[in-house]
Amino acid sequence: MAVRPGFSDDLRWLVIYHRSSGKKFQEILQNIVPVSVATQRRWWHYYMHLRDVRRVRNNRARPPKMSAVEDRYVVQLLQEDRTQFVRELAVRMEDRFGHPFSSSAIHRSLQRSNITHKKLDQRALQAQLLDQLRFLNQIYNVDPSRIIAFDESGSDRRNLHRNFGWSVKGLRAQHRSFWSRGRRYGVLAAISLTGVVASWTQDSSMNAESYAFFVSEVLIPYFALWYCEPCCCS
């Protein structure tokens, strides 16, 4: 029985080279090598997942289950960067241990380590935990009713509508609203346990000068009345 000759590895790597250079599969077919687009896609899939141009057979001499050392290394990689994709982990595992790892093997390893994929809880990069603890220690004995917090907000015509609505199944939920932003308003407000104690509005976005004006001209006069003794006001 005659064996059909296959494509050489040199031809496969030539396709990978041109694809990595930005050429499309159809351009490679028309101008470089007479290989179908489907075959080129299959080779590219092998290269992206296995770093090779041929499929790795399942009869390779390695156990289907990752070892304990490999499991610990996956956890170590995630401790370095929690945002890595599974394929990125597989490539780094291959660089470390010298043989390819499938996405399924990585997923099973993460399940054994009780690690799941979740939505990231974004934390400010500038936040300093020691400074936060030091501040909490300073205000620990302060009467909560004497603590005031203030922040800014903004509004324009584009955010005066809701983002969700109802419609018949299969049809879009449409709502007519302003497309241009219009005039933007900025609001600064100070709040305590009793509610809003001071506020200020301007017809532009807030900046450092706005904060300074709010503190010096609005908050400080309020504090002067708040801390004034009864005898001083008579």
pLDDT digits over 107-153, tens only?
Answer: 999 999 898 888 877 777 667 778 888 888 888 888 888 888 888 88
The band of 217, judged by pLDDT with boundaries at 50, 70 and 90, is confident
Classify residue 126: in a domain, yes or no. Answer: no
pLDDT value at residue 205: 79
pLDDT value at residue 72: 92
List the one residue out of 28, 30, 31, 34 whose CA is nearest residue 7. 34
Same domain, 228 and 151: yes
β strands within the chain, DSSP E:
149-155, 185-192, 195-202
**Rounded to whole angstroms, how far apart are CA atoms 19 and 73?**
32
Buried/exposed code over 40-60 (b: 16+ C-beta within 10 A; e: otherwise): beebbebbebbeebeeeeeee
Structure tokens at 221: 């006069």
| Residues of the domain holding 26 | 9-50
Structure tokens at 119: 């939505």
pLDDT value at residue 145: 81
Q: Mean pLDDT, to the nearest integer, of 51-74?
A: 72
DSSP string for residues in 90-152: HHHHHHHHSS---HHHHHHHHHHTT----------TT--HHHHHHHHHHTTTS-GGG--EEEE
Same domain, 45 and 75: no
Classify residue 120: in a domain, yes or no. Answer: no
Same domain, 151 and 202: yes
pLDDT in tens, 74-88: 999 998 888 888 888
The band of 73, judged by pLDDT with boundaries at 50, 70 and 90, is very high
**Rounded to whole angstroms, how far apart are CA atoms 122 and 132?**
17
Domain boundary among 58, 89, 112: 112
More confident residue, 160 or 69: 69
Structure tokens at 230: 């009864």
Whether the predicted model's global pTM rises above the 0.75 cut: no
Classify residue 201: in a domain, yes or no. Answer: yes
Classify residue 76: in a domain, yes or no. Answer: yes
Name the strand (E) or helix (H) holding 44.
Answer: helix 37-50
Residue 161 reports pLDDT greater than 70: no
3-state secondary structure of 185: strand
Number of domains in the chain: 3
Same domain, 93 and 44: no
* Token pair 């990125």 in the structure block, residue: 88
Residue 9 reports pLDDT greater than 50: yes
- Integer angstrom CA distances of residue 85 from 44, 104, 106: 19, 13, 10
Classify residue 119: in a domain, yes or no. Answer: no
pLDDT value at residue 117: 85
**Rounded to whole angstroms, how far apart are CA atoms 116 and 208?**
42
Classify residue 31: in a domain, yes or no. Answer: yes
Same domain, 230 and 189: yes
**Rounded to whole angstroms, how far apart are CA atoms 33 and 23?**
12
Classify residue 3: in a domain, yes or no. Answer: no
Same domain, 187 and 228: yes
Q: Mean pLDDT, to the nearest integer, of 59-80?
A: 79
Classify residue 1: in a domain, yes or no. Answer: no
More confident residue, 159 or 154: 154
